[in-house]
């Protein structure tokens, strides 16, 4: 009973003490796409991704009600680093939806401003200078900014309730908001002042946290006890996990030895604790514990490093492995030092996934799939006149003139073809997509995504768009382990219908071993060569250079791949490479020619880019 009353009271008092308009809330997830476009248009880096920021304890004075309710202790402030723009998960502090939305856009505009010119300023100076920069660059935002300021000020602690130094600080902040650029420094206050939601977090947690962790690490090299943390996935909340890097040269004085005046809003420390392995039972509770922490710190640890990273180059167990369809066929390999093609040097084994089960299109792709399908359907509508028909919608003037000429000279054809008709454009194109499924595709791009996942999504969207066209396509994947085994996995053959079974095969792609490109390209060439189509495109999707365990690396791999590509061209194919390797410029022009490849700068864009690239390449546009 007491529990229930307690809960009810907590609910009630929290609601009363809540300083916002929950029914007017705008969620980041709903507008993050628009925000991203806006951010980029304002000059923000296109590679940045937008995620939710987590709240931290600000330490500022709470209202009496908030104190009673135990709420209002945390705040979410936006900030940005080299690869992420972090914004509050939802905003409801302002009285209507449109204003809350405006606050998001204001924060995005502020975050798009380059930090460099303001590095010499203190945090309040920098915040004002950035505001001034945004307002002068985008004068249209002035009106909105001052509207937001007026509303935000209403949310700030009441002046009459503040004393002396706290009052002076609060007044300075209000002045800085109302007249940006007019406050040089913030007077010292007893308590940290209430953070300003219109400004970015002046002390984003990354650097500070990494530093603390590294300090800790350095001092405990000989510590036999180890700690380890596993982050359990939780849907409710995103954790800020900072991977700490070994950058001991860049040591700056530790955070705590410098007085950062009001910068220091929060403190979440990493302690190495001597925990026995039994404590792992506690992992189920880990997500709850993680919820209570402001930040999770992941540090490199001298004990657990090896056991946590799985780097296994052995083949999968037989029961888990793909099924080999035959013993394989032998292909030659180019030896550049000997300057000759070595016969039957490389064995390509056709395989098919042993654990693919029919699956529908993953839900997260349905929207994107609908979009590309629509685009491709529109492209298909390209039509052209077919002339010289016996029946058609219009007279073919040229044929008629010829006919008149012939009649005048006494030569008459029995059935004059004098009409023309608009027919759907005719294409006779076969495309073979060859996806590099080497181990490097296992690399993570973010907490949830690996390169292979992006490739998988790309293959899905590619297939979804292609199946609306008349173009025929097949998808194969490859990886290798020395010349005896180039695993050539069929994902979709030319004669397979694109259905849930094929989707299952796409879904089942896994990172394999190495990248012996030459053999795989020769095998793909052989398959494409047998197609009756007029045009044949060999589309290679890769994340790096050719390489394998044996001599197949560096120059040898490049030269053999080049030889295989030349063979493909001679066979009448059009080879084209799509890469996500940042260093691709160093070797791909050599392999495919300067027009023969495309580099996708933002790997995450590969799924949406691939169909468009295809459309451009094959003249659908």
Partner 1 sequence: MTSTIQDAPFYQPIGNECELFEHAFKHKLPVLIKGPTGCGKTRFIAYMAHKLNLPLYTVSCHDDLTASDLVGRHLIADNSTIWNDGPLTRAVRNGGICYLDEIVEARKDTTVVIHPLTDDRRILPIDRTGETLQAPDDFMLIVSYNPGYTNMMKGLKPSTRQRFISLSFDYLPAAQEQLVVEKETGADALLAQRLVALANALRNLKDQDLEEMPSTRLLVYTATLIIAGFDHVEACRAGLIEPLTDEPETIKALMEVVYAVFG
With CB under 8 A as the contact rule, the residue among 8, 323, 397, 423 that binds partner 1 is: 397
Task: Name the nearest CA neighbour of 341 among 349, 350, 329, 330.
Answer: 330
CB of 51 to partner 1, least distance (A): 18
Task: Name the nearest CA neighbour of 551 among 335, 313, 329, 330.
Answer: 335
H or E stretch including 472?
A: strand 472-481
CB of 310 to partner 1, least distance (A): 35
With CB under 8 A as the contact rule, the residue among 141, 434, 461, 564 that binds partner 1 is: 141
Which range, of 37-45, 213-221, 520-528, 549-557, touches partner 1 by CB under 8 A? 37-45
With CB under 8 A as the contact rule, the residue among 115, 291, 586, 602 that binds partner 1 is: 602
C-alpha to C-alpha distance for 530 and 315, rounded to whole angstroms = 32
CB of 35 to partner 1, least distance (A): 7
H or E stretch including 343?
A: strand 340-352
254 binds partner 1 (CB under 8 A): no
C-alpha to C-alpha distance for 561 and 557, rounded to whole angstroms = 6
605 binds partner 1 (CB under 8 A): yes
43 binds partner 1 (CB under 8 A): yes
621 binds partner 1 (CB under 8 A): yes
Beta carbon nearer to partner 1, 38 or 118: 38
589 binds partner 1 (CB under 8 A): no
109 binds partner 1 (CB under 8 A): yes
With CB under 8 A as the contact rule, the residue among 139, 253, 306, 532 that binds partner 1 is: 139
Q: How far is CA 501 from CA 111, 323, 426, 439, in A?
A: 45, 16, 29, 25
With CB under 8 A as the contact rule, the residue among 405, 554, 572, 589 that binds partner 1 is: 405
3-state helix, strand, coil in the chain (%, to 5): 40, 20, 40
CB of 536 to partner 1, least distance (A): 12
404 binds partner 1 (CB under 8 A): yes
With CB under 8 A as the contact rule, the residue among 22, 140, 253, 306 that binds partner 1 is: 140
CB of 77 to partner 1, least distance (A): 21
Task: Name the nearest CA neighbour of 167 among 179, 177, 156.
Answer: 156
441 binds partner 1 (CB under 8 A): no
Number of CB atoms found within 10 A of residue 595's CB: 8
370 binds partner 1 (CB under 8 A): no
**Placement of tokens 């700690």 in the chain:** 227
User: How far out from the chain centre does Cα 481 lie?
Assistant: 29
Which range, of 202-210, 332-340, 377-385, 492-500, touches partner 1 by CB under 8 A? 377-385
C-alpha to C-alpha distance for 542 and 580, rounded to whole angstroms = 7
Return the SS3 of 388. Answer: strand
Beta carbon nearer to partner 1, 214 or 525: 525
With CB under 8 A as the contact rule, the residue among 40, 49, 260, 501 that binds partner 1 is: 40
Q: Let me know how many helices (H) and strands (E) the chain has, helices first.
A: 18, 21
Instruction: Count the site residues for partner 1 by CB under 8 A.
Output: 41
CB of 143 to partner 1, least distance (A): 5
With CB under 8 A as the contact rule, the residue among 26, 35, 435, 509 that binds partner 1 is: 35
Q: What is the CA radius of gyration of the chain?
A: 32
Q: How far is CA 490 from CA 148, 203, 331, 435, 616, in A?
A: 57, 51, 18, 10, 26
With CB under 8 A as the contact rule, the residue among 8, 16, 29, 41 that binds partner 1 is: 41
CB 204 within 8 A of CB 81: yes
C-alpha to C-alpha distance for 241 and 226, rounded to whole angstroms = 19
Which range, of 32-40, 124-132, 467-475, 515-523, touches partner 1 by CB under 8 A? 32-40
410 binds partner 1 (CB under 8 A): no
Angle at the Cα of 192 from the Cα atoms of 187 and 197, rounded to 5 degrees: 100
Binding stretches for partner 1 (CB under 8 A): 33-38, 40-43, 46, 105, 109, 137-144, 382, 384-385, 397-398, 400-401, 404-405, 535, 574, 576, 595, 602, 605, 616-619, 621
């Amino acid at each position: 009973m007491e529990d229930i009353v307690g809960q009810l009271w907590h609910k009630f008092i929290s609601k009363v003490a809540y300083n916002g308009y929950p029914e007017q809330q705008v969620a980041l997830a709903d507008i993050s796409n628009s925000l991203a476009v806006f951010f980029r248009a304002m000059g923000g880096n296109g590679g940045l991704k937008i995620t939710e920021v987590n709240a931290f304890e600000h330490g500022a004075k709470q209202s009496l009600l908030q104190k009673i309710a135990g709420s209002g202790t945390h705040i979410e402030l936006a900030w940005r680093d080299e690869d992420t723009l972090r914004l509050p998960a939802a905003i409801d502090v302002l009285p209507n939806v449109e204003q809350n939305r405006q606050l998001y856009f204001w924060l995005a505009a502020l975050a798009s401003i380059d930090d460099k010119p303001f590095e010499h300023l203190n945090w309040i100076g920098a915040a004002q200078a950035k505001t001034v920069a945004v307002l002068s660059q985008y004068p249209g935002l002035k009106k909105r900014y001052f509207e937001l300021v007026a509303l935000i000020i209403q949310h700030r602690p009441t002046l009459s309730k503040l004393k002396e130094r706290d009052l002076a600080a609060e007044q300075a902040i209000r002045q800085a908001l109302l007249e940006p650029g007019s406050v040089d420094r913030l007077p010292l206050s007893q308590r940290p002042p209430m953070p300003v939601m219109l400004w970015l977090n002046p002390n984003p947690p990354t650097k500070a946290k990494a530093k603390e962790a590294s300090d800790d690490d350095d001092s405990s090299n000989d510590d036999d006890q180890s700690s380890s943390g596993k982050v359990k996935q939780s849907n409710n909340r995103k954790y800020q996990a900072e991977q700490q890097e070994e950058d001991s040269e860049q040591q700056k004085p530790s955070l705590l030895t410098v007085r950062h005046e009001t910068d220091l809003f929060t403190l979440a420390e990493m302690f190495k604790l001597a925990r026995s392995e039994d404590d792992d039972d506690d992992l189920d509770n880990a997500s709850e514990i993680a919820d209570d922490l402001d930040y999770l710190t992941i540090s490199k640890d001298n004990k657990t490093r090896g056991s946590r990273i799985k780097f296994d180059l052995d083949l999968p167990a037989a029961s888990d492995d793909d099924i080999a369809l035959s013993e394989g066929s032998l292909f030659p390999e180019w030896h550049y030092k000997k300057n000759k093609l070595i016969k039957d040097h490389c064995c390509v084994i056709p395989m098919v996934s042993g654990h693919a089960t029919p699956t529908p299109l993953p839900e997260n792709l349905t929207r994107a799939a609908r979009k590309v399908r629509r685009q491709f359907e529109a492209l298909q509508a390209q039509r052209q006149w077919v002339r010289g028909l016996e029946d058609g919608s219009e007279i073919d003037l040229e044929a008629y003139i010829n006919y008149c000429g012939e009649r005048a000279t006494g030569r008459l054809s029995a059935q004059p073809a004098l009409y023309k008709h608009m027919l759907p454009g005719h294409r006779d194109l076969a495309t073979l997509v060859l996806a590099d499924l080497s181990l490097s595709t296992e690399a993570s791009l973010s907490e949830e995504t690996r390169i292979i996942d992006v490739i998988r999504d790309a293959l899905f969207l590619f297939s979804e768009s292609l199946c609306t066209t008349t173009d025929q396509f097949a998808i194969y994947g490859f990886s290798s382990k020395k010349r005896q085994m180039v695993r050539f996995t069929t994902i979709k053959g030319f004669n397979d219908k694109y259905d849930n079974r094929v989707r299952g095969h796409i879904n089942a792609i896994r990172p394999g071993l190495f990248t012996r490109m030459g053999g795989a390209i020769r095998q793909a060439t052989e398959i494409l060569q047998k197609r009756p189509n007029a045009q044949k495109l060999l589309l290679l999707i890769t994340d790096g250079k050719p390489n394998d365990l044996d001599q197949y690396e560096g120059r040898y791999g490049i030269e053999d791949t080049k030889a295989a590509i030349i063979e493909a061209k001679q066979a009448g194919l059009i080879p084209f490479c799509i890469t996500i390797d940042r260093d691709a410029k160093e070797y791909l022009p050599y392999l495919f020619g300067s027009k023969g490849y495309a580099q996708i700068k933002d790997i995450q864009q590969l799924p949406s880019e691939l169909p468009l690239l295809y459309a451009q390449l094959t003249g659908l546009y």
